[in-house]
Amino acid sequence: MTFDPQALGRLGITEEQVELMDVAENFCRDQTSIAAVREMMASGAALDISANKNLAEMGWFGITIPEEFGGIGLSLAEAVPVAEQIGKRLMMVPFIPTTVAAQAILTGGTRTQMETYLPKIVETGAATLALSEANGSFDLNDIESTAVLGPNGYRLSGTKILAENLDSSEILVLSAKVQNAVRLFVLDINLIPKTAMRREILIDETKRAFTVNLEGVTVPESAIMDAAKTAVTLQRIDLASNLLASAEQVGGAQSCIDYTVDYLKTRKQFGKLIGSYQALKHTIVDAYVSYEKARSLLYAAAHSFEEQGKGEAATRMAAVGAGRALSFAADRAIQFHGGFGFTYDCDAQLYRRRAIFHDSLFGNTRWHKQKLAALLFN
């Protein structure tokens, strides 16, 4: 029994976080609108190119990258407020996969790989990961793709799914088994033929992801990452993804609740504003309470992310809190918008689909709780 509530992450904040909070809030509000997001969704655009360019100019793809590689040299805690604001606006920018790919390279890459790829990431934000496979498993070790070393490098085989923003990325981190051991690779995306990529149909239409057929793809020997660091890198990918996804969901929950509260304040039925009916009012209050709790869990996870033995528990708790807060708020948002809620035009569905998407990527509530039980009770 290792559980000690006092050890489970405290809450605090850095000056950089406060600053980024302010800047990110203003920046994201000015960059986009739901109307613009819907337009891009409908157009099938790969991402919001203009916002992305501005993000890169702000240097935000390098928040967590050390200054020696051109980054700002802060920690993931400082990336959290940015992801939160991006989530609040449903912005179509590759902030999360890029930041996580950078973390992967920083954690498990060779010095050469860091020098090659990190500066490029800071500049373009165009990096992503291909880890999951068709078995649907949340376990990043549960893969079947292989890489066999030959005279021209590693010859890959297998299929990856849910590689986000692949068509607009330049750098890819992927996993495959080398002699039955999971290994990570980092490579230029142009090593993968366009014909090997298929754009997937996602529940969240503001997201982009691809299935990649690795059959016949060969990558240079230099693409392989540090064998000794595979486990710690996979763990970092998992937790960093969940931390930032939690931030994106908390931001989404906030705007989903605001959007619904606005409706409850203006829509009348039976001669009264529907927000005066406790069936709606009390439930949205419960959603709000759930959101505020999720925010506290999120900031605590950000604050203690790097602390051995606390980071994982705090992050998985944040993931549970954020997933539940957004799912519940969005489910009720659909219901409380009545007939309009059932239409494509109502934004409630955007948030609900977003929550389902996040529950799919790096573990859902049940998965995280199982991991937490193992962490805290064993």
Partner 1 sequence: MISVEDFAKDAEKWFAENTPRDLDFMLPLTFMEVGTDQQFEFLQNWQRQVYDAGFLGAAWPSEYGGGGLTDAHQSAATKIMRAHNVPIMMNTIGLSWAGPLILDIGSEAHKKKYIKGILSAEDIWCQGFSEPENGSDLGNAQLRAVRDGDEYILNGSKIWTTHGHYGKYMILLARTNPDAPNKYAGLSFILTPMDVPGVRTQKIRKLTGEHGFTQTFFEDARVPADGLMGAEGMGWKIAMQTLEYERGARGGQAGGYSITEPDPLEILNLARDTGQLDNPVVRDDLIDYIIDAQSLNLNGQRAKIGALVRDNPAGLPLMDKLAKTEFAREINQYALTLQGTRSAYYVEEPNAVDGGWWHRSYLNAFSATIGGGTSQIQRNIIGEHVLGLPKSY
Nearer to its own copies, 155 or 281 (CB): 281
Encoded one letter per residue, x for contact with its own copies by CB under 8 A and - for no contact, window 236-275 reads ----------------------------------------
Interacting partner of 360 out of partner 1, its own copies, none (Cβ under 5 to 8 A depending on kind): partner 1
Nearer to partner 1, 127 or 250 (CB): 250
Residue 17: partners with Cβ closer than 8 Å, 6 or more residues away? 77, 78, 80, 81, 302
- What is residue 109's three-state secondary structure? coil
Interacting partner of 364 out of partner 1, its own copies, none (Cβ under 5 to 8 A depending on kind): partner 1
The one segment of 116-124, 185-193, 196-204, 213-221 that binds partner 1 by CB under 8 A: 196-204
Upper half-sphere CA count for residue 104 (Cβ side, 13 Å): 32
Among 279, 374, 377, 378, binds its own copies (CB under 8 A): 279
Both structure tokens of 324 = 């539940």
Among 277, 293, 307, 356, binds its own copies (CB under 8 A): 277
Residue 213: partners with Cβ closer than 8 Å, 6 or more residues away? 159, 196, 197, 198
d(CA 48, CA 209): 15
- What is residue 334's three-state secondary structure? helix
Among 53, 265, 282, 366, binds its own copies (CB under 8 A): 282
d(CA 88, CA 191): 35
d(CA 29, CA 254): 14
Interacting partner of 111 out of partner 1, its own copies, none (Cβ under 5 to 8 A depending on kind): none
Q: How far is CA 206 from CA 43, 176, 339, in A?
A: 11, 28, 23
Residue 230: partners with Cβ closer than 8 Å, 6 or more residues away? 108, 181, 182, 183, 184
Residues 46-75 that bind its own copies (CB under 8 A): none
Encode burial over 137-161: b for 16+ CB neighbours within 10 A, e otherwise: ebebeebebbbeeeeebbbbbbbbb
Interacting partner of 342 out of partner 1, its own copies, none (Cβ under 5 to 8 A depending on kind): partner 1
The amino acid occupying position 135 is: N
d(CA 61, CA 340): 38
Q: Are 160 and 133 in contact (CB under 8 A)?
A: yes
Q: How many residues lie near partner 1 (CB under 8 A)?
A: 92
10 binds partner 1 (CB under 8 A): yes
What's the closest the beta carbon of residue 338 comes to its own copies, in angstroms?
Answer: 16
136 binds partner 1 (CB under 8 A): yes
What's the closest the beta carbon of residue 330 comes to its own copies, in angstroms?
Answer: 21
Residues 343-362 that bind partner 1 (CB under 8 A): 343-346, 348-349, 352, 356-357, 359-361
Residues 21-80 that bind partner 1 (CB under 8 A): 21
Residue closest to 96 by CA, chosen among 43, 195, 162: 162
Nearer to its own copies, 276 or 343 (CB): 276
Q: Are 298 and 308 in contact (CB under 8 A)?
A: no
Interacting partner of 331 out of its own copies, partner 1, none (Cβ under 5 to 8 A depending on kind): partner 1
d(CA 371, CA 146): 27
What's the closest the beta carbon of residue 139 comes to partner 1, in angstroms?
Answer: 9
Residues 295-334 that bind its own copies (CB under 8 A): none
Nearer to its own copies, 75 or 283 (CB): 283
Residues 277-296 that bind partner 1 (CB under 8 A): 277-282, 284-286, 288-289, 292-296
Among 34, 45, 49, 134, binds partner 1 (CB under 8 A): 134
Nearer to its own copies, 35 or 279 (CB): 279
213 binds partner 1 (CB under 8 A): no
d(CA 244, CA 221): 31
Query: Can you give the binding site for its own copies, defined by CB under 8 A?
Result: 277-279, 282
